[in-house]
Structure 1
Amino acid sequence: MLRRLQRLVDRTRLADPRYTFLFDPEPPDEVVALDCETTGLNPRQDEIITIAAIRIQGKRILTSQPFEAVAQTKRKSHPEAIKVHRLLDADVQNGRPMREILPDLLHFIGSRPIVGYYTDFDVRMIDRYLGNFLKIRLPNRRIDVSSLYYKCKYGDAPDHVMIDLSFAAILQDLKIPQLAQHDAFNDALMTAMAYVQLHDMLRRGVRIARNRAGAVSDLGIGA
């Protein structure tokens, strides 16, 4: 209900009618996996360095048609952030301003739901720029693979069970190869692979067994 109201408010605030497509109905069985690398972890102050997005149609991950961009930043990366994404300030000097990246990104995403790992952070980072650009926040529905994973593995777990929603745990249980992390494209790709598996498992009522790592049990979700 709140999300619907926010969409209505944002649609009236939209500063450029050329972007009303963001509020169109979602294309059936299509989503976009998205990841950002940033100068730090404060959405109010830090900036996007790199951003990648990959469309998913059904079970098909369209890796041949990705969106990738390097952004110029005014703020220097925190030393701890550099250790994570390994991008120096010099590496992004030739990037594009976010005001040039945003139109391309928005057309790539369209009205598709956004898939990510702890998606709220990436969306909040984009919303910082979008507020200045279109006076709105991203209206797209968000799907977090950690939530899907929780439903598949821990949805019926007793209170004493230790819960691990780390990205590494998700990849291990789903037997997804661990690419070099904290690279926007790699992270978006691994997220896309996790989404396709988890979405299919939930649809079929398949659980991830908690008794041994990586095992999948064909038990109904309601069983």
Structure 2
Amino acid sequence: MKLFSWLRANEPTLDAATQARLRQLPAAKSLGECSLREQRWVVLDLETSGLNLNRDQVLSIGAVVIEDGAIDLGQCFERTLLRPGQSVNPSVLIHGLGPSALAAGSDPAQALLEFMEFVGDSPLLAFHAPFDQHMLTRALKDSLGYRLQHPFFDVADIAPLLCPQATLREAGLDDWIDHFKLQVEERHNASADALATAELALILFSRARQQQIDSPLKLQQRLGQWKRRQQSPSF
């Protein structure tokens, strides 16, 4: 009985309105054979208090939507999460999230719920997605008791898959921005980085279609094959 009491104590306490909104969230869709252009994508970037997957916290979320083969600037999301008493380390200040920005933030549970309402049933794109996926998954579980099941695509993997001729090793977002000569006016905050990632993704989707990869499912399959080859020992 003590075990179950401990489990209940770790579940977030949510009011009835929040619980009702959670129940109304659509389930994530399985990837289908629609074209890359037809698919609605949510491109996100997180700013966190550090890089520790188990200790650090999500501080802000920025996201844009790719739909009908273009970035829809009418569908943007930006929230700073308010965490009372949170200290600010130097890495946070780099991203412009000083004490005043954090103090003006939103309640984490409400901000995260609003984000999932924004996402709907769409797949997610991010640069170095495993980090964002882990941090978002943990934040949703801790704040809402919500289990994230949406497909996540890593643009850092899609780029070398589709551009094997690029002589870039362990390239970051800035490296790919320079490679494609993208004009990015702002970087290093969640919304700006999400927009830069979306611009890169559009170029990559065009490359994918040229290589007969024209559905989210086929892209996922090709990524899986590519990653297995990368992990295979070479002789």
State the secondary structure of the residue aligned to 1:62: strand
Residue 110 (structure 2) aligned to one of 78, 88, 100: 100
Residue 23 (structure 2) aligned to one of 9, 18, 40: 18
Normalised to the residue count of structure 1, the TM-score between the two structures is 0.75
Aligned partner of 2:9 in structure 1 is none
CA-to-partner distance for each residue in 1:91-111, whole Å, 9 max, x for gaps? Answer: 210111111111110011012
Q: Is contact 1:37-1:51 (8 Å) kept?
A: yes
Aligned: 1:66 with 2:71: no
CA distance change for structure 1 residues 96 and 162 in 2, over 3 Å: closer, same or farther? closer
State the secondary structure of the residue aligned to 2:74: coil
Residue 61 of structure 1: how far off its partner (Å): 0.5
**Structure 1 unaligned regions, length at least 5:** 1-14, 207-223
Counterpart residue type for residue 107 of structure 1: E
CA distance in 2: counterparts of 1:146 and 1:187, whole angstroms: 13
State the secondary structure of the residue aligned to 1:64: strand
CA distance in 1: counterparts of 2:211 and 2:150, whole angstroms: 26
Name the count of aligned residue pairs.
187
Residue 88 (structure 1) aligned to one of 71, 92, 98: 98
Name which of structure 1's ranges 26-35 and 102-111 shifts more when overlaid on structure 2.
26-35
Residue 175 of structure 1: how far off its partner (Å): 2.0
Aligned: 1:57 with 2:67: yes
Aligned partner of 2:145 in structure 1 is 135
State the secondary structure of the residue aligned to 1:45: coil
Aligned partner of 1:6 in structure 2 is none
Aligned partner of 1:192 in structure 2 is 198
Which structure carries more relative contact order (alpha carbon 8 Å, separation 6+)? 2
When the two chains are superposed, the root-mean-square deviation of aligned CA atoms in Å is: 2.4
Aligned: 1:201 with 2:207: yes
Normalised to the residue count of structure 2, the TM-score between the two structures is 0.71
Aligned partner of 1:165 in structure 2 is 171
Name which of structure 1's ranges 27-36 and 193-202 shifts more when overlaid on structure 2.
27-36
